[in-house]
Structure 1
């Protein structure tokens, strides 16, 4: 849970900082970007439902782990953009940008084989070397992202 919250806090900080320059990036769009940061972790539904059940429901082959890839978040961002009643293209871009903050942050995690997951699928199976900056279970990551988000919040609050 700490890692999931960290992804949301990172997205909050980045989108809020970007909103200082981009007039259209209101608090509503910051929130949508934060939702985008959650999209890759929808693959966690695999803890409760197996691929065969989803395949039966959809009628097509399906791998739940593909949701935590670039192709998966493009698909999920498209579906999410269709849910909104207006500004579909902007919603797609903001959701995708939020999801990319998640994937890029995960690309810095420590992995046993020192290579990140194949998050660039379906474009390539390449697994880039990772700098092994953090372990996802490390609580200090949540502390750092929490302090970053609080700092950004206070700066944003004082500037308005």
Structure 2
């Protein structure tokens, strides 16, 4: 849960800082970016539903692992953009930006074999070497991200006064 919260807080901080320059990036769009940061972790549905069950429902071969990739988040951002009543293109871009922040942060974490996941699929199956900056289960990660987000939140509140 700490990792999921960290991704949402990173998206909030990045979108809030971007909103200082972009007038159209209101709190509504910041919230949508935060939702976008959740999209790659929808692959966790595989903990509850087997791929074979999803294959029988959709009628095509299906793997939830592809959700945590570039292709997966582009597809989910497109689906999510259709839910928004207006400004579908902007919603797509903001959802995708939140999801990309998630994928980029995950590209820096430590993996046992020293290579990140194939998150660039369908562009390439290559697994780049990761700098092993952090372990996702380390509570210090949430503390650092939380502190940074708190500073951004405080600056955002005081800059309008």
TM class by shorter-chain length? over 0.9
Q: Which residue of structure 2 lines up, in the alignment, with residue 105 of structure 1?
A: 105
Q: Which residue of structure 2 lines up, in the alignment, with residue 134 of structure 1?
A: 134
Q: Which residue of structure 2 lines up, in the alignment, with residue 149 of structure 1?
A: 149
| Superposed CA offset, 1:122-151 (max 9, x none) | 110011110000001000000000001110
- With the length of structure 2 as denominator, give the TM-score of the two structures: 0.99
Q: Distance in 2 between matches of 1:145 and 1:158?
A: 20
Residue 64 (1) aligns with residue 50 (2):
no
Shift of 1:113: 1.0
| Superposed CA offset, 1:21-46 (max 9, x none) | 00000000000000000000000010
Q: Distance in 1 between matches of 2:90 and 2:16?
A: 16
Q: Which residue of structure 1 lines up, in the alignment, with residue 92 of structure 2?
A: 92
| Superposed CA offset, 1:71-115 (max 9, x none) | 000000000000001000000000000000000000000011111
Residue 18 (1) aligns with residue 18 (2):
yes
Q: Distance in 2 between matches of 1:60 and 1:81?
A: 24
- With the length of structure 1 as denominator, give the TM-score of the two structures: 0.99
Q: Which residue of structure 2 lines up, in the alignment, with residue 125 of structure 1?
A: 125
Q: Tell me the secondary structure at the aligned position of residue 98 of structure 1.
A: helix
Q: Distance in 2 between matches of 1:131 and 1:28?
A: 34
Residue 159 (1) aligns with residue 156 (2):
no
The count of residues paired between Structure 1 and Structure 2 equals: 160
Q: Distance in 2 between matches of 1:93 and 1:60?
A: 28
- Compute the RMSD of aligned alpha carbons: 0.4
Q: Distance in 2 between matches of 1:74 and 1:61?
A: 19
Q: Distance in 2 between matches of 1:141 and 1:114?
A: 19
Long gaps (5+) in structure 1: none
Q: Which residue of structure 1 lines up, in the alignment, with residue 43 of structure 2?
A: 43
Q: Distance in 1 between matches of 2:123 and 2:58?
A: 23
Q: Distance in 2 between matches of 1:47 and 1:157?
A: 39
